[in-house]
Structure 1
Amino acid sequence: MRSNRIRTTVIAATALLAALSLTACNGDNGSTSDNGKAGASAPAANSSDKQSPSAAPEKDATATDADSGTNTGGSGTTKNTAPPATNGGKNTGGSADKAGNSSSGKTDTTCAGENTKITVTKVSRPVNHLLLTLTNSGSRTCYAHYAPKLRFDDAQAVFPILNDSQPQAVVTLNPGQSAYAAIGLTGEPGSGPAPRKGNHLQVNFAGKNPGSTSGTPSELTLPANTYWDDNGFVTYWQTEMADALQY
């Protein structure tokens, strides 16, 4: 009887151990399955959180459209505000106004007492000669037309002009440039009245038209011991001193 109870107890203990072992095995298999399900059922990432690789980057709001010359930033399209070019976009560099005008915007003029400085000097060669030097003291080009019109002291007539000395072109003087005229004081000895002593010389300036005068005359004091007669002459204005003194 006692032997049967022991056997029954052993059988029951064995069955209990088998049941516990089976339960432990089932528990391990369940953990593996749960992990697999969890990996498969993980929520998908929100598509709105990802940026499409094909989307073009947004243009900088302050970028300037180089082709159109406009600024595309801000709330509207604003044109380039650089100041417009003046005078039709042309470079107005320089100060010339119109064709034929000088840099000061005024036309060229005739050389006269208002815009020149004139001197008279005695020369050693040729003998009995004086030299007139006319310098443009103005700011514009001037023209020394023809020959100076001279009057010695209180003479009534204009001193004779030597027509053979006429240059090929009118003498043009830029500011600071000079022209020259020679004065032959006397003619051939014995060909006329005796020479007279001169103290004062008036220089009138010829105009553009033949026989005309222009501007204010210049008044000069003659060098000491200057003698002249009615057979002397004055040359046309020349660009070179040597050209004037060759007569």
Structure 2
Amino acid sequence: MTQGTRLIRFQHSDAIRSEYPELVAGTVAAAGITPDGAADSLIAKFTAVAQARLATGTEAEFPEIQAWRRAFSRMGLKPTQYRCASESLLRRFRKEGALPRIHPLVDLCNAISLAFAIPVAVFDVAAVSGGLEVRHARGDEDYLAFSGETEHPDAREVIFADAAGRAHARRWTNRQSGHSSVRETTAAVLIVAEAMHGSAAADVPDLVAAIADGLGEVWRTSPETAIPTPSSPRVEFSL
């Protein structure tokens, strides 16, 4: 753990770990984020990887995406109606040739998500109470949509929940909340990547390293990384 002023935790619930034993997750925590990071060259590098891969087939053929489609089916969701974040990004990138620019950090993480075909979520820790747990919803949690409307996840839906009862993502890797999205004032973040395909145990650490290296190069920060495991599911960072 680094020396800092605020403790942020992350974990998957025992139930999620039990139901999805193939799950591999990686986390990155970093401070010193600013809205003026020069990430264009790295974004181009990773989007080129995705472009080359998409030249050989659509995202639906990728094992990373197929694994998440199976997981969504197990959650009782139609996988072509509710897509994991990386599939949605790849689909848009394939059709439009580019992704909209939002914030240098989000743009970089989206590009890395494209390259690895693995969902990557970026949370502004200032908007997170205590930490995040991926767990089944009770149904009374508050989720702030980007439209500004407050929603409540369905009971048993997989969400990213904090200690205050906020849902920071719905349907697991489908849709993040506007409450903790990165904005110009964001200074410290928690980044989470999750995968379930056969080579996830090797790919997720590589993705985490790519994010950490990118943060160091663009923002001259020293991010902390951790790979939570079934035997050690909770990770902690001080930011």
* TM-score of the two chains, using structure 2 as the length reference: 0.24
Which structure has the larger Rg over C-alpha atoms?
1
Greater strand fraction, Structure 1 or Structure 2: 1
Q: Which has the higher contact order (CA 8 A, sep 6+)?
A: 2
- Structure with the largest fraction of helix: 2
Report the TM-score when normalising by structure 1: 0.23
